[in-house]
Structure formats: C-alpha cells, structure tokens
Structure 1
Amino acid sequence: MYDAFAGLISQISGFMYSYLLIVMLLGVGLYFTFRSKFVQLRLLPESIRVVGEKTGDQHSVSAFEALMVSTASRVGTGNIVGVANAIAIGGYGAVFWMWLIAIVGGATAFVESTLAQIYKKKDPEGGSYGGPSYYIQAALKSRVLGVVFAIALIATYAGGFNMLASYNLISSFTSYDFYASAGTFTLGGKEYSVVAVVGGVILAILVAICVLGGGKRIVKVTGVLVPVMGVLYILMALVVMVMNLNMIPSVLGRIFSEAFDFGAMFGGAVGFGSSAIMQGIKRGLYSNEAGVGSAPNAAAAADVSHPVKQGLVQMLSVFIDTILVCTATAMMCLCTGIDIKGGLEGAPLVQASLATTFGAVGPYFITFALLLFAFTTLLGNLFYCEGCLNYIANRKLGSVPMTVFRFIACGLVFVGAQLSFDLVWDLADVLMGIMAIINLPVIVILGRTAMRALQDYMEQRRAGKNPVFKASIIGLKEKTDFWN
C-alpha cells in the first residue's frame, strides 16, 4: 500500500512539473515582468527602503514582521536540502534555472501580495488578515474556490511542507555514527529508525510548546530567529567561497554552460524529471514559493499606507530566499570540488562539502542550520494555516478547535520524520503545485488591479509623497474593507 501510494504521487508530480507548472510559472512570471516593466529589478532599492517603515498600531504587524513571517516559510530546509538535491540530480545547470524562476517569480510575488493587501479584511482587534482565499471571494465572487484554495494551503503547509521540514532535519543525522548504531525496529511490516522516531517526537513537542501560544508568538519567534539564521548561513558560504576562490570562475562557467546544454536541460537519456530545468524550477518554486499563494497571507497582515509597499516587501523576500540563501548552498557544494554525482544528496551532500573545508565542524554547522531552518519553517507555515482555517469557518475559531488543529499539525511533524525521501518530496511538490494551479490564473485575472495600484504608487512617489492608497482611485470604491 505504501509503495503503491508513493508511486502514484511520483507520477502525478512528474506530470504536473513536466507539462503544466513549468509553462504556468514561467508564463505568468514573464507576463507580469513585462507588464510591470521589470518591477522586481526596477524597484528593488525601493523595496529595501519600505521594509524599515514602522506601523503606528500596536495590534498590527509591521512590514518587517510580515517579511520575517513569509521569509521564515520561504527560507527553510529546502534552501539546504532542496538545492543540494537539485544539484545532485540536475547538475550545475539547475542553479541557473533556480535563479531564473526567482527573478521572474519576483514579479509574480509582487502582484499576489499587492492583491492580498488591497482585499484584506479588518481584524476585530484592530489588525488585518487576508490572502488568496479572500481576494478570490472578493474579486471573483466565488467562496467555493476560496475554500478549495484554503484547504489546499492547509494540506500543503500543515501536511506536505511541515512533514518535509521534519524529514530534512532528521536526515541530517544520517551522516553521524550514532544514527546507524542506534539501530532500527520493524512495526506493521515497515522498518523505522530509532533516531528518526525519537527525533520526530522531540521536534513535535518543541513545535507544540511554541504554537500553543498562538499566532502573535509565531511572529515574535520568527522575527528573532530568521535574521540570525540567514546571516550566519550566508557568512559561512562567503567563508567557503573565499577559501576556494580559485574555483569560482569554473563553477560559474559550468552553471551557465550546463544550463544551456541540451542534454542537461532536458535530461538526456535519464529523462526530463532529472533535467536541470525540471530540478531548478521545482526546487526554486519550493524554496521561494512565488505564485503559490502562501506569502500573501502574511502580506495581508501588514499595516502599510499603500498595498504596493507590501508587494515590494514580499518581492524582496523572494530575492533573499533564492538569490542569497539558495546561492549560498549551491556555492558551498560546488566550490569545494566534491563529486555531486557521487551518490550523496540532500543534507549529507552539503555536510560532506563543508567537511572538505572545515573538517568535522562542517557537518555540525549544517545540522544546526537545519534545526533553525526547520523550526522557523514549521512555525511560519502554521501561521498561514490558521488564517485559512478561520476563512473556511467564516469566523475566528475559538481556542478549542484551533488547539486541536495544532496538535494534529504537531503529529504530522512526527509522521514526516518517518517517511521515505521520494515520497515526502513528491507529496510536498504535488500539494504545492495544486496551490499554484489555483492561484496563478486568479492573479492573472486580477492583474489589472495590481498594475493600477503600482501606477498610483509611482505617481505619488514621483510627486515626492509618501504614497497613501484610496480604493476609488483604481475603481474599487466601497469594494474593500480598508481603503475607502
């Protein structure tokens, strides 16, 4: 039964990313890139400026805090394990396609988060909330589709992504002697690792302790951990690059040459699933989530004077995730000269790469980084889920049902640690793909609204003003909760 289910999920994943999502992601990203006149590059300095703006309401989430929550979800175990897998399977060229999906995805992230701000709803406590489900219902008048998207998000983040984060963390222990010496046991015909079981229990308990404090605690915890985590990781990558400076020209040369090598691009004899394009796009999307419809849930909670400000902030999050953190992983693997086709993948590949430079310290650092990455990912993901649960219920859920959900989510954290490599990755890819298939056509339909908001923002900036949004300016008078 387990093998049959794993095989089915693998086939679905292969179809989605071979034929459907590659066209949708690149097509929508390029469409908004040209329509916005390269907003992700043109307004990158502006996005950095608006991150520092403060909120005047203690009940609201600032632009920086919203950036940290979305970055906590984006910057996760996929930035280490996912990038290593992409390189091990797709080769050097996969890095280029990750870069490309991030650059074009920046425009997509801008649009979806701007829309989330425009159509956000008022919180009784004085804050705001929203996301794709809300702009689907408000603009397309379809609560049914909004509920379908909310269910897909909960399944993806509480299930697929959180199980994957748990698995990726536990997999980093396989390179240590104690993992094998601890042994295994068989239950119900399936073999389980003692370390995976014990580690899964500990991780689930730690997450439960944190999330039982509610969404505000999630914001506070991620606001502290994400900057520390990201800076430490990038600094380590810079040290590796400096110590292997002579390797960088050849590494960059292979990234670009193999990205456009026909065999590497399309998989050659091993098939498209192992190609640089497929691996780069799958792991790039998993890492930065542009177009998936997750970050808009955090964007809608921010207190800003103009929706475009939060669109710019979430656009910046995509660059932080892929251009900085994913590139850091790629360079740590490739600059050390380790054989990326030598049989290692995921966390063990990165650990082996760092071991060539730092000895025994390298693997320990990756385990520590994965612990922080996994923990902040688990917390940020549950922040998204709770908003969608409230949407499905059409009210703010009480403490009892929300507590039940949190315990179930923590149980899934334990389950993820026990799954196999192929199943846990394919399941996350499929669930994430379902979200993108719903969200991408919706933001194309609503793209005109986001572009009008961008035009209004730029006109006010050129006039030397701090942009303030009015819904009536773009023809949405009385159609939004906040901007009238």
Structure 2
Amino acid sequence: MTEFLTALSAKLWGAPLLALLLGTGVFLTVRTGFGAWRNLPGACALLLSPGVRHSDGGISPLAALMTALASTLGTGNIVGVATALTAGGPGALVWMEISALFGLAAKFSECTLAVRFRRRGERSGGPMVVMARGLRPRLLGRVMGGAFALFAVGASFGMGNMAQTNAMATALDAAFSVPPWITAAAAGLITLMVIRGGIGRIAGVSGFLVPLMALGYLGGAAAVIAGHWQAIPAAVGQMFAQALGPEAVLGGTAGAAVRYGVARGIFSNEAGMGSAAIAAAAADGDCPALHGYINMVGAFFDTCVVCTVTGLAICCSGVLETAGGADGAALTILAFESVLGRWGGALVAVCVALFSFSSVLGWAYQGETALTYLTGGRGRTLYRGAFALAAGVGAVSRLETVFALSDICNALMAVPNLLCLLALSATAAREMGAFEPAVRKRKKL
C-alpha cells in the first residue's frame, strides 16, 4: 500500500501540477499588472498600521497572518530547503525564490477572495466558500468546494500534524535525548489545550511563537552566514549559474534545480494551495484586498527571507559538498555547527520543534474549519480530540504512508483552488486595483 501511495504521490506532484502552480502564479502576476511586486513595500508597511492590529471582538488581520504563518513556517523552512539543495543543487534555492515571487499574486488572490465572498458578519470561510458562492454553475462550485474541504481535512492530519510532530520528536531526541514518547504525550496534551480555545487562543499562541522562533532562527542563520562572509560571493554565483544554466533547466524531465526548487518553495509557503485563505477569512475587517496584501507579505517572509537564509547558511558553510550524504535537518545542523558549535545544533533542533508545533496549531484551525463546512458546523469536539491524538501518534510512528497520503491530499487541494483562482482572477485584480492607492500611501509611512 505504501509503495502504491508513494507512486501516486510522485505522479500527482509531477511536472503538470508544478507547471499549473507556477503558471497560475505567473498568470495572476501579469493579470494584476505586477501589483504584487510593485506594492510589496507598501504591503510590508501595512503591518505597522494600528488598524491591522485592531480587532472588534474577533481576531485582528495581523493575528490572522500569524496563524497563517504558524501553519507555513514548519519543517519546509529547515528540512525542505536542505532537501532541495541536496537533490537539486544550489540552484534550487533560486528557483524556490522565483516560485515564491510569482506565488505572491496567488497568495494575495486566494486570501482576498476568501474575505470578498464572506457574507456580512461572518468570520469564517476559505476557498471552499469562494468556490460555492463565486463559481458558475453553482453545482460545480459546490462540488469543487466540497472536494477542497475534504482534502484539507486530510492534509491537516497528515502534513499539518503527524508529519510535524514526528519531525519535532526526531529533533528533540537527536539534540537532547528526549524520548519520543515524552514528546508525543506533551504534543498531544498541549495541542488539545490550545485548540480547545478556538481561533482566539490559536491566534494568541501563534502571535507569541511566530516572532520569537523566527527572530531566534534568523539570528542564528545570520551568524552562520557572517562567519563565512568570504564565501558569500562564490556561493551566490554558483546558485545563479546552476539555476539559470541549460543543464538546470533542461536536464532530466524538467531540470533538477527547477523541479526541486519549485516543489519545495510551494511546500514552504503554500501559495496556491488555499490553506492561508482559511485563516485570512477569520479576521476582522471588511476590506478584502487589505487581507490579501497582508498575507502576501507572509508568503514573502516565509520563502524569500527564512528559506533564503537557510539556503545561504548551508551553501556558504560548504557542508553541501563535505557532508557525506547528510540531508534534511542534519545538513542544516552541520551548517550551524560550523560557526556556533554544538549550540548551533541545539538551536536548529529547538527551532525545528517550535516551527513544527506552530504548524500543528495553524493547521488545526484550518482543518476544523474545512470539516465544519462539510458537516454544517458539527463535529468540532470530535475533530479536536482526534487531532490531538494524532499529534501524539505522529511523534512515535513511522510515517511513510502518512507522508504519501499527505502529499496526495495537498495536491488534490491545490487543483480546485488553482482553477478557482484562474476563474475569478478578474475579481482579484479589481480588488487589488481599488486598494492600491491606500497601499501606496502606506509606503510613505
């Protein structure tokens, strides 16, 4: 069974889906007049606006962004980058960033549409609601929305939960000899305590964890890069040479650098998958484009900042050539240890644990919202209990089958969401254009 699911996963995540993901990002970038790129500085400045931090009894747009970032800042930023570099070479990092830059328009569009198609007074939604209300014929929209929600629930248990707690347990065991069963018990209990409080508590914990772990990790990575500053020009030159050379683009089926860079970039920031739109729809405020711009900044930070410093730390340290087959978190740990010693390995292990746990919390809300869409609001308590139990099980289990099922669910989530984004691209472009003057004004703050 595992072999079959792995083969199906590989087929689904082949060149056609990657081309659809990247192609949708390119189309939306052009369709919106490159507004995602032109207005990125202004969108970053929006995060300093008092209105973004204010809520009317619900959660603020900034808190919604922290919840969305909690789900995307995970093992992909540490393990995924190292895996991409091992499989696709240094050029894969450039393609991660290229995919992220075109993914900005996709992230803007899916989050904008999630707020645009809420009814007045609602504080819940996502791509499934957008499809049901925005697509024609209505029956097709409902079918697509139901399919998206079903696979979002599956993804929440797999890649959003069990895979994350497994990475957490592995990291803590390797760095501090914490038995996996202790991590399993703690993960399950703490997860249940947090998610029982609903989106308010999840957003509160995420708002504390995300800045803390991001700043700590970025500080460590910056120290590693600074410690190898003389190697930076050669490392950057090698990245672009391998990324844009003919062997990178034409080698194999689609080129290892392109294939692994695009795949891992999308895995990291989830642009085009629709997951962040569920968190965006929970925020206060009735301006759709405001939420789109804010969440667009999250995608930029996730890949173009966090993943970039991970990749630079690995490439500048030279461990990619000398690691002797090390991959994933082990490769990142070697890079950090090259400057920070054993404390570098401990820092990476703690960051893996925190990144993983934050992903569990973010996905808990997204999966629960998708489930209640399918059930008409029922099943929250059952879902929370099952989700917390899965968090514990994931920490002590071999997850080959779970990984395969998760990849399948992620792929099947992405397809209806991408088709919906293409169909409603005109609506997203109008919303961006209408709010653009406000973003440009914020740029002057």
Distance 2:88 2:169 in 1: 24
With over 3 angstroms needed to count, the CA separation of the structure-2 counterparts of 1:121 and 1:77, relative to structure 1, is farther
**Mapped pair 1:374 → 2:356:** yes
Q: Deviations over 1:442-470 (max 9, x none)?
A: 111011111122222236778x79xxxxx
Task: Flag the structure with larger Rg.
Answer: 1
With over 3 angstroms needed to count, the CA separation of the structure-2 counterparts of 1:177 and 1:71, relative to structure 1, is closer
**Mapped pair 1:18 → 2:14:** yes
> Residue 51 of structure 2 aligns to which amino acid in structure 1?
K
Stretches of structure 2 lacking an aligned partner (at least 5 in a row)? none
Distance 2:298 2:74 in 1: 13
8 Å contact from structure 1 (residues 162, 413) kept in 2: yes
Equivalence for 1:327: 308
Distance 1:264 1:68 in 2: 35
Equivalence for 1:291: 272
Structure with the largest fraction of helix: 2
> Residue 84 of structure 2 aligns to which amino acid in structure 1?
A
Q: How does 1:455-474 map to 2 (within 5 A)?
A: 455-458=433-436
> Residue 101 of structure 2 aligns to which amino acid in structure 1?
I
CA-atom RMSD in angstroms: 2.4
Distance 2:315 2:399 in 1: 22
With over 3 angstroms needed to count, the CA separation of the structure-2 counterparts of 1:451 and 1:366, relative to structure 1, is same
Task: Please report how far the alpha carbon of residue 176 of structure 1 lies from its aligned counterpart in structure 2 after TM superposition.
Answer: 4.6
**Mapped pair 1:45 → 2:23:** no
Distance 1:171 1:262 in 2: 38
Task: Please report how far the alpha carbon of residue 145 of structure 1 lies from its aligned counterpart in structure 2 after TM superposition.
Answer: 2.2
Q: Deviations over 1:386-423 (max 9, x none)?
A: 2212211223x3xxx32221121122223333454755
Distance 1:135 1:447 in 2: 12
Q: How does 1:161-180 map to 2 (within 5 A)?
A: 161-173=160-172, 175-176=174-175, 178=177
Distance 1:219 1:458 in 2: 28
Task: Please report how far the alpha carbon of residue 425 of structure 1 lies from its aligned counterpart in structure 2 after TM superposition.
Answer: 4.2
Distance 1:138 1:199 in 2: 42
Distance 2:333 2:226 in 1: 18
Q: How does 1:144-155 map to 2 (within 5 A)?
A: 144-155=143-154
Match of 1:450 among 398, 416, 428: 428
Equivalence for 1:136: 131
8 Å contact from structure 2 (residues 68, 279) kept in 1: yes
Match of 1:250 among 217, 223, 234: 234
Match of 2:392 among 396, 414, 418: 414
Equivalence for 1:482: none
Task: Please report how far the alpha carbon of residue 17 of structure 1 lies from its aligned counterpart in structure 2 after TM superposition.
Answer: 2.4
Q: Normalized against structure 1, the TM-score is what? A: 0.84
8 Å contact from structure 2 (residues 169, 396) kept in 1: no
Task: Please report how far the alpha carbon of residue 283 of structure 1 lies from its aligned counterpart in structure 2 after TM superposition.
Answer: 1.1
**Mapped pair 1:352 → 2:334:** yes
| Helix, strand or coil at the partner of 1:130 | coil
**Mapped pair 1:313 → 2:294:** yes
**Mapped pair 1:363 → 2:360:** no
Equivalence for 2:376: 394
Distance 1:208 1:178 in 2: 25
Equivalences, count: 436
Could you tell me the percent identity over the aligned residues? Answer: 31
Stretches of structure 1 lacking an aligned partner (at least 5 in a row)? 180-194, 466-484
With over 3 angstroms needed to count, the CA separation of the structure-2 counterparts of 1:24 and 1:237, relative to structure 1, is same
8 Å contact from structure 2 (residues 56, 284) kept in 1: no
Q: Deviations over 1:18-61 (max 9, x none)?
A: 23211101111110111112122100122123223426643232
